[in-house]
Amino acid sequence: MRLKISLLKEPKHQELVSCVGWTTAEELYSCSDDHQIVKWNLLTSETTQIVKLPDDIYPIDFHWFPKSLSAKKQTQAESFVLTSSDGKFHLISKLGRVEKSVEAHCGAVLAGRWNYEGTALVTVGEDGQIKIWSKTGMLRSTLAQQGTPVYSVAWGPDSEKVLFTAGKQLIIKPLQPNAKVLQWKAHDGIILKVDWNSVNDLILSAGEDCKYKVWDSYGRLLYNSQPHEHPITSVAWAPDGELFAVGSFHTLRLCDKTGWSYALEKPNTGSIFNIAWSIDGTQIAGACGNGHVVFAHVVEQHWEWKNFQVTLTKRRTMQVRNVLNDAVDLLEFRDRVIKASLNYAHLVVSTSLQCYVFSTKNWNTPIIFDLKEGTVSLILQAERHFLLVDGSSIYLYSYEGRFISSPKFPGMRTDILNAQTVSLSNDTIAIRDKADEKIIFLFEASTGKPLGDGKFLSHKMEILEIALDQKGLTNDRKIAFIDKNRDLCITSVKRFGKEEQIIKLGTMVHTLAWNDTCNILCGLQDTRFIVWYYPNTVYVDRDILPKTLYERDASEFSKNPHIMSFVGNQVTIRRADGSLVHISISPYPAILHEYVSSSKWEDAVRLCRFVKEQTMWACLAAMAVANRDMTTAEIGYAAIGEIDKVQYINSIKNLPSKESKMAHILLFSGNIQEAEIVLLQAGLVYQAIQININLYNWERALELAVKYKTHVDTVLAYRQKFLETFGKQETNKRFLHYAEGLQIDWEKIKAKIKMEITKEQEQSSNSQSSKNMGLKL
């Protein structure tokens, strides 16, 4: 990825340009110390003077009023706030009419910013004051006051906090009074510029110490640049939070959100005082000290999938290369390319007006359809369909270009969604809520309606990253997520009545990814790279989960690596310095998944015998129990030396009825309540009581015996025997009440138990014979 710079031969301004801002993706306004506001049209390459300001107004900063998220028709900004050196800010219309001038600060007003909703304006000045104003320019409050000038200010993603500079310090102050203020030393020189992105919640800062830094919203340093030759005068996030730009003297740099640099350009600009990204995130404008306005297009992005590599060579041209045979295809587009995604044998490209869907089998005839709104901020792909996110909605399309659904939920803000907070599978869409980050909304892909009974998934901690598995049946769909504590959790997405259990898979997990062809999960856990070959093991037999893992040292990936993709048996990891590392894992677990999904148990056993690895046998054992194939499970458990479980499986095989076998398989997986329900539905009340006695669930055993008026004496007898073993006396009032005047006769109890077993055997043989009769008929 690099920047393609365009700079006019002669500057359009006589003095330094202090600030720039985009109205649409093709129109820019610039303000200069020559008192002119100039409009640039990039399509026609024309510049027009909008207004000449009075000679005493020297512009310092300006910011367009945010376009309304609800008003779909308003596609561009209509007015802006301009701060100036005379201590005022001015509300100016798009045509250049000054609607209002407000006395704001003593000394220059150094920065002004609208919040994301356009309901409030924050200004900062040389007098060290931070003031909040209404939309019409009425003073609401003075948020803070300090002894040093405040050079830069930014709103938090939820418009509830304000970030501002104080010399070498950064301060985050919430709007609520008495709320905790966060303050830390950020640079060794005065901080000149800050920016806070609403999508990734990360903060940029630049200072006179010639460094730029990336912080999280808690003030933790994520990236610290090397010192440059000159002070860093400007920084700005791209709208989607994936890139940022840095400006200095004769310097323009393009960086990834983690801090490493994609490209460094040295245009003849003087210092770049202000950087603005276009709404679609494809180009940058810079306000230069020598009167120029520098434009830079982001080109040469790369997308890779298996043997295909796609490169954006120009604004409207892509090159596709097949590395197997070196075949090259050129893809031409009518409009400039904004976003693209390559996965599942399809390339999806969104331009400013249309969406193109290419198949990797045929690059010549794409499916083309018009977009409802131009700026697509995110494309996600699954095997059967893909998701587009724009400024107002979420749309799901098939690869044939057919619109499928558009999920919605109350308070949905699509402008802050990214690949970590949205996940897509063949049948489910998952979206983490921004208003309450502990909640995940789940939708049916085919209808866009909430999944199951409409309940959302709720966790006790804030969730940072979510991912749906890609294969298997809808009922078995799982979602993995990382919470604020860096715990990796997994749960089922099916939501019917019973609250699904959230199970912790690992701790200190920084990044995760599901495989595209089978349900294998990988993640970076502290200093280890871990692959969960069969994550469902936690639902089947948690004891053997460690035996189903693959682990290796991850210290080679340095600090803060990120998993980019997990395709086939290859994992791609981006290191903190920007380099890509490819890891190959064993191909055998994926083949095992394939055999099991096709119920080819003999082939699965044969594969494990060929590979001779404990992880494979452990996965097979868990898969077999999950699919109720106890014969294969017995082989798997025997191979990994779990003798007690082999004996238990043998005892299950000898049980007389199908219901008893089913209940004990559920017990084997720890599903006690479900096992009890199966037995009670089959009329096997004694067996239900007996499993509670065996598990020492005395209260529940007595409750069932009393409810069904049977075997109360059996429960009391076993309870008495249990207490005698430990030399204790009965203290439970309920048991004392039912034991009054009851003589325990073990002979009688044993006879009753024998009768129950005989009865179950008879039931089983009767149902079998009636089944056989039905077959004969």
Contacts for 339 with CB less than 8 Å, ≥ 6 apart: 349, 350, 376, 377, 378, 379
Query: Could you tell me the pLDDT band of residue 675, with boundaries at 50, 70 and 90?
Result: confident
Average pLDDT across the chain, whole number: 89
pLDDT value of position 77: 64
pLDDT value of position 774: 53
Q: Which residue has the tokens 């604004």?
A: 315
pLDDT value of position 496: 62
Full 3-state SS string of 260-291 = CEEEEECCCCCEEEEEEECCCCCEEEEEECCC
Of the candidates 40, 62, 65, 82, the residue with the CA atom closest to the CA atom of residue 295: 40
pLDDT value of position 379: 94
99-113, 334-348, 616-630, 713-727: lowest mean pLDDT where? 713-727
pLDDT for 776 beyond 50: no
pLDDT value of position 687: 84
pLDDT value of position 773: 52
Of the candidates 582, 561, 579, the residue with the CA atom closest to the CA atom of residue 571: 582
Contacts for 363 with CB less than 8 Å, ≥ 6 apart: 320, 329, 331
Query: Could you tell me the pLDDT band of residue 497, with boundaries at 50, 70 and 90?
Result: low
pLDDT for 501 beyond 90: no
Between the ranges 42-51, 151-160, 698-707, where is the mean pLDDT highest? 151-160
Eight-class DSSP state of 450 = B
Query: Could you tell me the residue ranges of all domains in the chain?
Result: 15-298, 299-406, 672-769
Count how many Cα atoms sit within 13 Å of the Cα of residue 3 in the half-sphere of its side chain.
30
Angle at CA 148, nearest 5°, toward 145 and 151? Answer: 95
47-56, 416-425, 467-476, 740-749: lowest mean pLDDT where? 740-749
pLDDT value of position 82: 94
pLDDT value of position 74: 45
pLDDT for 73 beyond 50: no
Eight-class DSSP state of 357 = E
Mean pLDDT of 56-78: 71
Identify residue 296 by its one-letter amino acid code: A
pLDDT value of position 771: 53
> 116-171, pLDDT tens digit by residue?
888 999 999 999 999 999 998 999 999 999 889 999 999 999 899 999 999 999 99
> 212-222, pLDDT tens digit by residue?
999 999 999 99
pLDDT for 772 beyond 80: no
pLDDT for 107 beyond 90: yes
pLDDT value of position 730: 84
Query: Could you tell me the pLDDT band of residue 110, with boundaries at 50, 70 and 90?
Result: very high
pLDDT value of position 558: 79
Tell me whether the CATH fold assigned to 15-298 matches the one assigned to 299-406.
no
pLDDT value of position 400: 94
Mean pLDDT of 61-72: 70
Q: What is the CA radius of gyration of the chain?
A: 33
Of the candidates 340, 389, 391, 390, the residue with the CA atom closest to the CA atom of residue 366: 340
Of the candidates 110, 186, 118, the residue with the CA atom closest to the CA atom of residue 153: 110
Full 3-state SS string of 656-714 = CCHHHHHHHHHHHCCCHHHHHHHHHHCCCHHHHHHHHHHCCCHHHHHHHHHHCCCCHHH
Stated pTM of the model: 0.87
Identify residue 312 by its one-letter amino acid code: L
Mean pLDDT of 468-496: 89
pLDDT value of position 768: 58
Fold for 299-406, please state it. Answer: Lipocalin (2.40.128)
pLDDT value of position 121: 95
Mean pLDDT of 320-331: 93
Contacts 24+ apart (CB under 8 A), 680-688: 680/704, 682/657, 683/763, 684/657, 684/659, 684/660, 684/760, 685/710, 685/711, 686/710, 686/711, 686/714, 686/753, 686/756, 687/660, 687/663, 687/756, 687/760
Query: Could you tell me the pLDDT band of residue 256, with boundaries at 50, 70 and 90?
Result: very high
97-111, 232-246, 680-694: lowest mean pLDDT where? 680-694
How far apart are alpha carbons 259 and 562 in whole angstroms? 13
pLDDT for 673 beyond 90: no
pLDDT value of position 69: 47
Mean pLDDT of 381-391: 91
CATH number listed for the domain at residues 15-298 = 2.130.10.10
pLDDT for 50 beyond 70: yes
Query: Could you tell me the pLDDT band of residue 70, with boundaries at 50, 70 and 90?
Result: very low
How many beta carbons lie within 10 A of that of residue 73, not counting itself? Answer: 5
pLDDT for 314 beyond 70: yes
Angle at CA 241, nearest 5°, toward 240 and 245? Answer: 110
How far apart are alpha carbons 777 and 774 in whole angstroms? 5
Cβ–Cβ < 8 Å for 477, 493: yes
> 157-212, pLDDT tens digit by residue?
989 999 999 999 999 999 998 889 999 999 999 999 999 999 889 999 999 999 99
pLDDT value of position 714: 85
pLDDT for 703 beyond 90: no
Mean pLDDT of 506-510: 92
